[in-house]
Chain A
Amino acid sequence: MSADDPELAREGPREPNEPLNVAPGEPHDSLLSETLSYVVGLAFAVILTGVSFWVASTSALWGPGVAVGLVVLAIAQMGVHLVFFLHITSGPDNTNNVLALAFGLIIVFLVLIGTIWIMAHLAANMGPTPEMTNLMLQRG
């Protein structure tokens, strides 16, 4: 799949830096610029994945913050996937996609935060305390 292939490459003169001037989700007319957008996305994803694995393995960072850092890195990587691979942009022809995504994210965060919050409190409040266990054993 070479850009020199006359079947694939479109006509017309190009600026040398044109491939980088197209936003990731915008329609591309050249094979090179479209492929480059995926390569850039892959590079970002690989870097973020590598940093995630490094953050998880190193002892140089403050322990309690590592889990939060990993979640932030994961959200960043999902953003890279959305922009470079799924082509979600802020352009007018993407309004419906972005609105649906925003609604989906609201539900996702409601489910996640609501469940974890409530279940953590339930676990803390409903778990048998040592006195209760003792009482149950005496009655049994």
Chain B
Amino acid sequence: MSATEAAAIGLTHGGSEDTGLGHRGPESKSIIVPYGFWLFVLSDIILFSALFATYASLVHATDGGPVTNELFSRNLVAVETGALLLSTFTCGLAIIAAKRANMLWTQVWLLVTGLFGLVFLAIEISEFAMMIGEGAGPQRSAFLSAFFTLVGCHGAHVTAGLMWIGTMMAQIWTKGFGPPQVMRRLLCLSIFWHALDIIWVAIFTIVYLIGTLP
């Protein structure tokens, strides 16, 4: 299709060559791989939306067991939220350093990201252990089953993300920034980690804050 033809039917974007419609053939792998990963992350978010819908349907089905107001502590959640938010920030800083092939700062920021993630996970596991110890485990009521499925699924994602961070630190250490797949994997990791924080925003709002309203 010629440029004038494309302009005539409105396919050009203000003089930019890139119409986003694939007129220039397939994009490079550094575009396609993060895009495919973005599709995965979106489908993951759809999975979480089903878990949120389940939780919202079952939140009052407590079967005489503990209710949200008795179980959740806002202070702990505030610390968890802060840790995850800072880790998503430092993850961005790691990408900035990696784009400039700065080994030291990429490793430092990835390590800080992982440590904040670890703080988050430790608090979450201790919270789960405390609840199960008090007899408020996932078998107690439909509400608690939904709670442990939703929050536990997010925690499992954080765990997977932590392992991925460790793997990437080792890979960057041994391979450097030379091979193009290293940067692609780092970009996918950052998309994954930012998406985890987006889901956490929904969890701390819907489960913890709305759950502890007077």
Given A1-B105, A115-B53, A116-B57, CB of A78 within 8 Å of CB of B202: yes
Inter-chain contacts of B210 with A (CB < 8 A): 56, 67, 70-71
Pick from B45, B105, B194, B202: contact of A85, CB under 8 Å? B194
A81 B198 Cβ-Cβ under 8 A: yes
Report the bound CA distance from A123 to B16 in whole Å.
54
Q: Is the CB of B13 within 8 A of A81?
A: no
The complex places the Cα of A45 from the Cα of B46 at a distance, in Å, of: 23
Q: Please tell me if B92 contacts chain A, counting CB pairs below 8 Å.
A: yes
Question: Is there an interface contact between B56 and A35, defined as CB atoms closer than 8 Å?
Answer: no
B157 within 8 A of A: no
B209 within 8 A of partner (CB):
yes
Contact indicator A119/B18 (Cβ below 8 Å): no
Shortest A64–chain B CB gap in Å is 10
B49 and A35 within 8 A (CB)? no
B13 to chain A, nearest CB (A): 4
The chain A residue sitting closest to B31, CB to CB, is A93
Interface residues on A, range: 35 or more
Instruction: Tell me, yes or no, whether A20 is within 8 Å of chain B by CB.
Output: no
B35 within 8 A of A: yes
Question: Chain B, interface size: which category?
Answer: 35 or more
The answer, yes or no, to whether B93 is at the interface (CB within 8 Å) is yes
Which B residue's beta carbon lies closest to that of A78? B198
Q: How many angstroms between the C-alpha atoms of A103 and B52 in the bound complex?
A: 18
CB distance from A67 to the nearest CB of B (A): 5
Tell whether B89 is near chain A: CB-to-CB under 8 Å.
yes
A82 interface residue per 8 A CB criterion: yes
Contact A66 to B213, CB < 8 A, known contacts A85-B88, A111-B53: yes
Chain B hits for A100, CB < 8 A = 35, 38-39, 42
Q: In this assembly, does B43 line the interface, its C-beta being within 8 Å of a C-beta of chain A? A: yes
Chain A: minimal CB distance from B89 (Å): 5
- Choose one: A31, A95, A107; the contact of B96 (CB below 8 Å): A31
Bound-state Cα–Cα, A63 to B39, Å? 39
In the complex, which residues of chain B have a beta carbon less than 8 angstroms from the beta carbon of A95?
A: 19-21
Q: Are A1 and B89 in contact (CB under 8 A)?
A: no
CA distance A45 to B53 in the complex (A): 25
A67→B39 contact, CB < 8 A = no
Q: Would you give the 0/1 interface string for B69-82, flagging 1 where the beta carbon is closer than 8 Å to chain A?
A: 00000100010011
Query: Which A-chain residue is minimally distant from B88 (CB atoms)?
Result: A85
Residue in chain B with minimal CB distance to A53: B78
Q: Bound state CA distance, A24 and B55, in angstroms?
A: 34
The answer to the question of A134 belonging to the interface, with a C-beta cut-off of 8 Å to chain B, is no
Q: Which chain B residues border A85 with CB–CB below 8 Å? A: 88-89, 92, 194, 197
B54 at the interface (CB under 8 A from A): yes
**How far apart are the CA atoms of A71 and B202 in the complex, in Å?**
8
User: What are 6 contact pairs spanning A and B, CB under 8 A?
Assistant: A7-B102, A41-B89, A74-B206, A92-B14, A94-B20, A104-B42
